[in-house]
Amino acid sequence: MRAARVGIDYEALVQEDRVHGSVYTDPAIYEEEMEKIFHRGWVYVGHTSEIPHPGDFRLRQIGRQSVIMVRDSQGQVQLLLNRCTHRANAVCQMERGNVTVFRCAYHGWTFALDGDLVGVTYADRYPSSFRKEEYGLRKVPRIGVYRGFVFGSLSPVGITLDEHLGQPVKEQIDLFVDLSPVGELDVTAGVHKYGYRANWKFQVENSMDGYHPNFTHQTFFANIQRRTGVKLTDLFNSRSVGLTRDLGNGHAMLDFRPYNRAKGTGLRVATMPTPWGQAYWEAMVNRYGKERAQEILTAGGTHMLIFPNLVLLGVQIRVIRPIRVDETEVFLYPVLLQGVPPEVNAARLRAHEAFYGPAGGGATDDLEMFERNQIGLSAQLDPWLLLARGLGQEKRDADGTLVGQITDEVTQRAIWRQWKKVMTQDVAVRRRARHGAAQQVG
């Protein structure tokens, strides 16, 4: 532990209505985020539908650590650390694929899909005390799955995934998944990737920002209105019936449901007078009953952040990967639904591309804002960022969530409250866990 880390006063840097600019620029704070947020808490890794068959794998990352998400020969999802137990070579180089074993290219050690060490080259030169059983690929100590969403925690101790998510988040995940009349997603359509030269938390905050769209995405909305007559700017002004919600534990959402209910927006696709629209609607009613089907389609998915790195946005899974204090990568996975007419999935892909794709009209606007933010932060006479919008006007809903108007900064405050909580937690827990790791993880 470096001495410099001890001195950061997070109470002073994150206040109820403002945060200090150094939370986006200080490399020491970034280091501590990696340790406390990413190497200790629950982090999203991938979706089970990405690896349907034994041997299917995806190379992922938890914080700085390279992790293989793989389906083993028993059909179980494993999260294996991508590090040969011999001399630490990465055993997996490919982003995705199907394999029967992982073989380290350096000295030829071979590992089964569940991590077991199954082959040691020239094993006769090891001492008699050497036991293969002790040198399987290390597993991420805790793995949790909800509706196919796979999360890992590098800490062997801590709250469960269930406690981390909480009921309101699980309900939103259900709305996202149950757009499929068989209750199953298909996350194999591919991925859009982008990077930007600014702090990772700009993308986290922006994903839940209902104040910016009418300005940042003015051109996109104007085009939509010209082409379709739909005036999306109605959703994102201070008189909108749309809401912001603090779901607890740093999770937050923009709640479009009141707006969709008023406009009939979410239902539009299913009630379209097309054979496929009708077929989709009927499949939904058959599975869920009319009332619930209506509720699911009106929600149209969700628009939610699951702290710290997962965002579910209507037709998309977004994963945020910090690289350095001022560099970030973002992965966008358009999500298909199982059990629907192909036209439904085609419409989802087109919707994804229109806003988020490389030639889309929206995502690039946000990236520009993040980099301008990082430039702005270099001017430091007044180092604070203001997050006071709607402060004191939130209401507590029956489900315990804290609710504000859609342009309020309820969501940003929710994120920072959790951030401060995690960053001020005692590091002793982590130190103990790390020193005991060899015994506990193997």
Residues of this chain that interact with Fe ion (CB under 5 A) are 366
Rounded to a whole number of angstroms, the minimum distance from the CB of residue 379 to Fe ion is 23
Residue nearer to Fe ion on the CB measure, 72 or 366: 366
CA atoms within 13 A on the CB side of 49: 20
Rounded to a whole number of angstroms, the minimum distance from the CB of residue 244 to Fe ion is 15
Rounded to a whole number of angstroms, the minimum distance from the CB of residue 366 to Fe ion is 4
Q: Are 251 and 302 in contact (CB under 8 A)?
A: no
Residue nearer to Fe ion on the CB measure, 338 or 364: 364
**Shortest-Cβ-distance residue relative to Fe ion:** 366
Residue nearer to Fe ion on the CB measure, 137 or 415: 415
Residue nearer to Fe ion on the CB measure, 246 or 366: 366
CA atoms within 13 A on the CB side of 110: 9
Would the CA dihedral through 352, 353, 356, 357 be positive or negative? positive
What amino acid occupies position 382?
A: D
Burial of 149 (0-12, 13-18, 19+ CB in 10 A): buried
Residue nearer to Fe ion on the CB measure, 366 or 394: 366
Q: Whole-angstrom Cα distance, residue 155 to residue 138?
A: 13
The structure tokens 């702290």 sit at: 307
Q: Whole-angstrom Cα distance, residue 139 to residue 160?
A: 17
Residue nearer to Fe ion on the CB measure, 326 or 366: 366
Rounded to a whole number of angstroms, the minimum distance from the CB of residue 216 to Fe ion is 5
Nearest to 357 by CA among 323, 389, 332: 332
Rounded to a whole number of angstroms, the minimum distance from the CB of residue 230 to Fe ion is 17
Q: How far is CA 376 from CA 21, 58, 175, 370, in A?
A: 10, 37, 38, 10
Q: Whole-angstrom Cα distance, residue 276 to residue 280?
A: 6
Residue nearer to Fe ion on the CB measure, 336 or 415: 415
Q: Whole-angstrom Cα distance, residue 19 to residue 229?
A: 39
Rounded to a whole number of angstroms, the minimum distance from the CB of residue 327 to Fe ion is 20
Give, for 51, the enclosing helix (H) or strand (E).
none
Rounded to a whole number of angstroms, the minimum distance from the CB of residue 302 to Fe ion is 17
Residue nearer to Fe ion on the CB measure, 366 or 409: 366
Strand, helix or coil at 426?
A: coil
User: From edge to edge, which strands make up the β-sheet containing 96-98?
Assistant: 77-81, 65-71, 56-62, 96-98
Residue nearer to Fe ion on the CB measure, 126 or 215: 215
Q: Are 66 and 90 in contact (CB under 8 A)?
A: yes
Residue nearer to Fe ion on the CB measure, 68 or 208: 208
Residue nearer to Fe ion on the CB measure, 366 or 408: 366
The contacts of residue 150 (CB under 8 Å, 6+ apart) are 44, 45, 46, 47, 48, 69, 77, 79, 143, 144
Burial of 62 (0-12, 13-18, 19+ CB in 10 A): buried
φ, ψ for residue 370 (rounded to 5)?
Answer: -65, -45
Rounded to a whole number of angstroms, the minimum distance from the CB of residue 213 to Fe ion is 6
Q: Tell me, what DSSP letter sits at residue 154?
A: S
Rounded to a whole number of angstroms, the minimum distance from the CB of residue 405 to Fe ion is 18
Rounded to a whole number of angstroms, the minimum distance from the CB of residue 361 to Fe ion is 11
Strand pairing report for 251-255 and 243-248: antiparallel
Rounded to a whole number of angstroms, the minimum distance from the CB of residue 299 to Fe ion is 20
